[in-house]
Amino acid sequence: MVWTNWAGNVTDEAQVRRPRTPEAVAELVRSAADDGRRIRPVGSGHSFTAIARADDLRLDLAHLSGIVSADRGTGRVRVLAGTPLRVLNQALDLLGLAMPNLGDIDAQTVAGATSTGTHGTGVALAGLSAGIVGLRLVTADGSQRWVDESDPELFGAARVGLGALGVITEVELACIPAYRLRAVERPDSLDEVLPRIQEHFDAHRHFEMYWFPGTRRVQTKANDLVADDVHEPLAPWRRRLDDELLSNTVFGAANRLLTRTPRAVLPFNAIAARALTERSYTAPSHEVFVTPRTVRFVESEYAVPREAVTDVLTDLVAWVERRREPISFPVEVRVAAPDDMWLSTGYERANAYIAVHQYHRGDHRAYFAAFEEIVAAHAGRPHWGKLHTLDAGQLAGLYPRHADFVALRDRLDPDRVLTNDYLDRVLGA
């Protein structure tokens, strides 16, 4: 069976194992080690990099899904590692709880999302892994251990562990009481928003901006808390029109046509950006964060120090204006709080996140290469699950605890039972 990631740019033909219990995971890892084989855990395949690619055995944790225990009082929720975020969000909703923040989709698994440092936007909010208070890890020799702050080294490393330190079977999350958000989405001009973007970041619980390449137009999205009794929902027809029809169905059809006429892409962006309208609504937090994404694309995303965001955007805009590359997807700009996880993009640094996308059938190479060159001048740290070309030597200069992580990996997986080509590149063979 050929496995492929969501974007379709990574495939493998590994043999699949589908354990039903944490004990079965431990047994599979132990026997892989004994037989000199390599085994790789996989979530829902939503990474754009080959981080989840297996070249021998793939450990599919789809059966390890569901809530193990929940304490409404403390907000502590234990969940099996293969639980998709969408299932988690629904379960939390029923418990009157919620994740403090989310990214813009909910298809990832809990362990997959946290292992690559998945994040949302919000100046006071770190990535999803920062909400982990403990996790159960099966290491390469098949032994199981509970990892929490009582073991600061392993806890510092394993929350964003890239699947390199062991297989996570269970995660305990610090959740908060369920909350509602008011989303205000507004078309604006780059020249208005970019000079004041730090103020926008600071003014809202969540703020993000989308810039449409080839134009000076942006769409901003600000989400803020509202009281539980404020119900101003989006009309169902409006949600279907904006989120399903325009953002996915029409956008997908336009992209298919535009691959044949690349010169029409930037003029198309100008029309698409002008068609955007303002909208405001309230909803439970997870419904506001998550949007349907049915048009396939590839993506690269880098974290840069917050204050560098204007320079990066200015250089990127100038590059697109000069080159007139056919880029049909908007550039996404977000923000997050610093944290203490060794391989987190947010390690001891408040970041802005800039993400570039290209239609999966389009050519992303020149665009992403130019983007990497721009962010390199600002000590950009790549998202582990999104396309980048950096290797262990370069990453060691960007992540202060990279060498410590590599040393820990040497201790926990000296025979490289859990590795793959991507990990060999970013951590060393």
Backbone angles phi, psi at 60, to 5 degrees: -95, 115
Provide, rounded to whole angstroms, the least separation between the CB of residue 41 and ligand FAD: 4
Closer residue to ligand FAD in complex, CB, 268/289: 289
Closer residue to ligand FAD in complex, CB, 266/298: 298
Work out the burial of residue 235: count CB atoms within 10 Å of its CB; fewer than 13 is exposed, 13-18 middle, 19 or more buried. exposed
Figure out which of the listed residues 163, 213, 214, 382 binds ligand FAD, where binding follows CB under 6 A.
163
Instruction: Give Cα 250 to chain centroid, integer Å.
Output: 25
Closer residue to ligand FAD in complex, CB, 14/61: 61
Figure out which of the listed residues 10, 26, 33, 51 binds ligand FAD, where binding follows CB under 6 A.
51
According to CB under 6 A, which residues from 379 to 418 bind ligand FAD? 383, 385
Asked whether 270 and 190 are in contact (CB, 8 A), the reply is no
CA distance 26 to 21: 9
Provide, rounded to whole angstroms, the least separation between the CB of residue 205 and ligand FAD: 16
Figure out which of the listed residues 116, 215, 219, 351 binds ligand FAD, where binding follows CB under 6 A.
116
Provide, rounded to whole angstroms, the least separation between the CB of residue 360 and ligand FAD: 10
Residue 43 interacts with ligand FAD (CB under 6 A)? yes
Binding mask 6-35 for ligand FAD (x = CB under 6 A): x-----------------------------
Closer residue to ligand FAD in complex, CB, 208/266: 208
Figure out which of the listed residues 27, 104, 153, 188 binds ligand FAD, where binding follows CB under 6 A.
104
Residue 46 interacts with ligand FAD (CB under 6 A)? yes
Residue 92 interacts with ligand FAD (CB under 6 A)? no
Figure out which of the listed residues 19, 77, 101, 119 binds ligand FAD, where binding follows CB under 6 A.
119
Strand-pair partners of 297: 359
Backbone angles phi, psi at 353, to 5 degrees: -115, 130
Closer residue to ligand FAD in complex, CB, 27/264: 27
CA distance 38 to 28: 11
Residue 122 interacts with ligand FAD (CB under 6 A)? no
Residue 80 interacts with ligand FAD (CB under 6 A)? no
Figure out which of the listed residues 103, 142, 213, 214 binds ligand FAD, where binding follows CB under 6 A.
103
Provide, rounded to whole angstroms, the least separation between the CB of residue 108 and ligand FAD: 3
Provide, rounded to whole angstroms, the least separation between the CB of residue 166 and ligand FAD: 7
Question: Which token pair is 263?
Answer: 């010169």
CA distance 62 to 213: 38
According to CB under 6 A, which residues from 165 to 204 bind ligand FAD? 167-168
Closer residue to ligand FAD in complex, CB, 144/319: 144
Residue 302 interacts with ligand FAD (CB under 6 A)? no
Strand-pair partners of 304: 352
Question: Which token pair is 190?
Answer: 């780059």
Residues 6+ apart with CB under 8 A from 308: 352, 378
Nearest residue to 123 (alpha-carbon basis) of 424, 355, 335: 335
Closer residue to ligand FAD in complex, CB, 113/406: 113
Residue 109 interacts with ligand FAD (CB under 6 A)? yes
Figure out which of the listed residues 115, 129, 220, 223 binds ligand FAD, where binding follows CB under 6 A.
115
Span interacting with ligand FAD, options 16-24, 88-96, 113-121, 215-223, rule CB under 6 A: 113-121
Chain positions contacting ligand FAD, by CB under 6 A: 6, 40-47, 51-52, 61, 81, 103-105, 108-109, 111-113, 115-116, 118-119, 162-163, 167-168, 293, 383, 385
